[in-house]
Structure 1
Amino acid sequence: MRIGFTLPQMGPLAHQAHEIGRFAKEAEELGADSLWVGDRILAPVEPSVGYGGGDGIPEVFRTVLDPFAVMAVAAAATERAEIGANVLQAPCYAPALLARSLTTLDLISEGRLLAGFGTGWSPEEYLAAGVPMKERGARLDEALDALEAWWTTDPVEFEGTYTRIPAAHVGLKPARRPHPPVYLAGFAPAAMRRVARRADGWLPVAQPGSGAFAPGSVNTPMAQVRRLAAEAGRDPSVLGLILRVYPTPEATLEEVVATITDAGRETDVDHCFVELMNIAHDVDHALELVRRVLGTAR
Structure 2
Amino acid sequence: MRIKRNLITGGAGFLGSHLTDRLMEAGEEVICLDNYFTGIKSNVEKWIGHPSFELIRHDVTEPIRLEVDRIWHLACPASPVHYQFNPIKTAKTSFLGTYNMLGLARRVGARLLLASTSEVYGDPEIHPQPESYRGCVNTIGVRSCYDEGKRIAETLCFDYKRMHETEIRVMRIFNTYGPRMLPDDGRVVSNFIVQALRGEPLTLYGDGEQTRSFCYVDDLINGMIRLMNCDQTGPINIGNPTEFTIRQLAELVREKINPNLQFIEKPLPQDDPMQRKPVINLANSVLGWQPKIALENGLDPTIEWFKSELEKSK
TM-score calculated relative to the size of structure 1:
0.34
Q: Which has the higher helix share?
A: 1
Q: Compare relative contact order (CA 8 Å, sep 6+) and give the higher one, 1 or 2.
A: 1
TM-score calculated relative to the size of structure 2:
0.33
